[in-house]
Amino acid sequence: MIINGTEIEETFAEAFGMSATRIIITAIDAKWARIAGETMTGFATSVIGCGVEAGIETELSPEQTPDGRHGVSVLLFAMSGKALAKQLETRVGQCVLTCPTTAVFSGMQGEKQMPLGKNLRFFGDGYQISKQIGANRYWRVPVMDGEFLCEERVARTGAVGGGNFLVLANHQQQALTACEKAIVEMRKLPNVIMPFPGGIVRSGSKVGSKYKGLMASTNDAYCPTLRGLVNSNLDNDIGAVMEIVINGLTDEDVRLATRTGISAVCELGAAGGIKRISAGNYGGKLGQFHFHLREVMA
């Protein structure tokens, strides 16, 4: 398959089942809502080292939020409900409770629930107040700029993490430009995040290492400087490879984001130095979700 001179390889991305939640953070204005969202999703690129993968899904207008203020929706993904609940509580407690003017609400419905305000309320040292509105309970925690409002519980759901595609280009700047273009389009979609810095990964990994105890190491087959030293997947004209990793609430969300991102990259095509599109997998043995690139793009 060739799109605008760029080859779509006959391969697939391998993704994993995860647990996810969405929260809505509001604040006095859009600037402070985004600051809270960016702070709580820091150090959240990979569960391998961070415990959670998280990112801002979208910005919300006052008409879209529970309290009529500017906000952001944030998605968090972990390998279990227990791990997700711990990361959510820690990050909201350290990064949103502390952020001026913020409030936090559940951003999804579901039978599976996790505590949030139920535990964070204790920061109020006995002065916290609960309020029941319909089926939902909220906690008002006194803080120095007024009150921190937090929903007692948030829902979680099954999700998909680790969808990906690789952009193989002649030069580093060409790969970066193409990935930046893809991220702009992918961020317009609901239900997905690209958790790495700016949505882009330059340090793609393989499972295992020559060093004992290291569970992942550099994907040497795609490192241009190792061509000739390893079993390389790179032709001589490939000078840089970058990866985009996708987490979504469903496999269809990941599929749509993959198609959207690859389509954006292929608009630059061979004329923009983009030679091939590939993907990372583990032979189909680890992840239950397989996204075959040519099927996705058909």
What is the mean pLDDT of the segment spanning 85-112?
Answer: 96
Q: Check whether 282 has a pLDDT greater than 90.
A: no
Confidence of residue 134 (pLDDT cuts 50, 70, 90): confident
CATH class, range 18-157:
alpha beta
Tens digit of pLDDT for each residue in 214-237? 988 999 999 999 999 999 999 999
Predicted local confidence at residue 290, as pLDDT: 97
Confidence of residue 98 (pLDDT cuts 50, 70, 90): very high
Please give the torsion angle defined by the CA atoms of residues 272, 273, 277 and 279, in that order, rounded to the nearest 10 degrees.
Answer: -120
Higher pLDDT, residue 296 or 133:
296
Q: Using the predicted structure, report yes or no on whether residue 213 has a pLDDT greater than 90.
A: no
Contact call for residues 163 and 257 (beta carbons, < 8 A): yes
Distance, CA of 246 to chain centre: 6
CATH of domain 2-14+159-297: 3.30.70.520
Element (H, E) at 62: none
Quickly state the pLDDT bin for 111 (edges 50, 70, 90): confident
Cβ atoms 273, 191 nearer than 8 A: no
Question: Where are the domain boundaries for CATH 3.30.70.520 in the chain?
Answer: 2-14+159-297, 18-157
Q: Which of 29, 197, 23, 146 is nearest to 93 (CA)?
A: 23
Find out whether 277 and 168 touch, Cβ atoms under 8 Å: yes
Q: Are strands 289-292 and 153-155 parallel, antiparallel or unpaired?
A: unpaired
Question: Percent of the chain beyond pLDDT 90?
Answer: 92
The mean pLDDT of 186-207, rounded to a whole number, is 96
Q: Mean pLDDT across the chain, nearest whole number?
A: 96
Percent of the chain with pLDDT over 70: 100
Residue 149's pLDDT is 97
pLDDT (average), residues 158-163: 97
Let me know: does 192 contact 177? Beta carbons within 8 Å.
Answer: no
